[in-house]
Amino acid sequence: MIRPTLKGQRLAALFLLGFLLFNYPLLSLFGGNTRIWGIPLIYLYIFVAWAVVIALMALVIERKEH
């Protein structure tokens, strides 16, 4: 039997976080006509959430497991 690694568990948790961040109920909170620096809030939220998920994924993958 294959033993799950901590890295695999972290990646699975990161997948679930990404799923929740880009799911309808949370996206609907940012769907209004509000703009920050001329950028619609929904676009800003999606870009920042996407960047955070990628940064966390890079941290998990590049971290050495002991």
Asked if pLDDT for residue 66 goes beyond 80, the answer is no
**CA-to-CA distance for 52 and 46, rounded, in angstroms?**
10
| pTM (two decimals) | 0.83
- How much is the pLDDT for 63? 80
What distance in Å separates the CA atoms of residue 55 and residue 17, rounded to the nearest whole number?
13
Beta strands in the chain (DSSP E): 35-36, 39-40
Answer yes or no: are the C-beta atoms of 56 and 14 closer than 8 Å: yes
Count of helix runs (H) and strand runs (E) in the chain: 3, 2
Q: What are 41-61's pLDDT values in tens digits? A: 999 999 999 999 999 999 999
Mean pLDDT of 14-40: 93
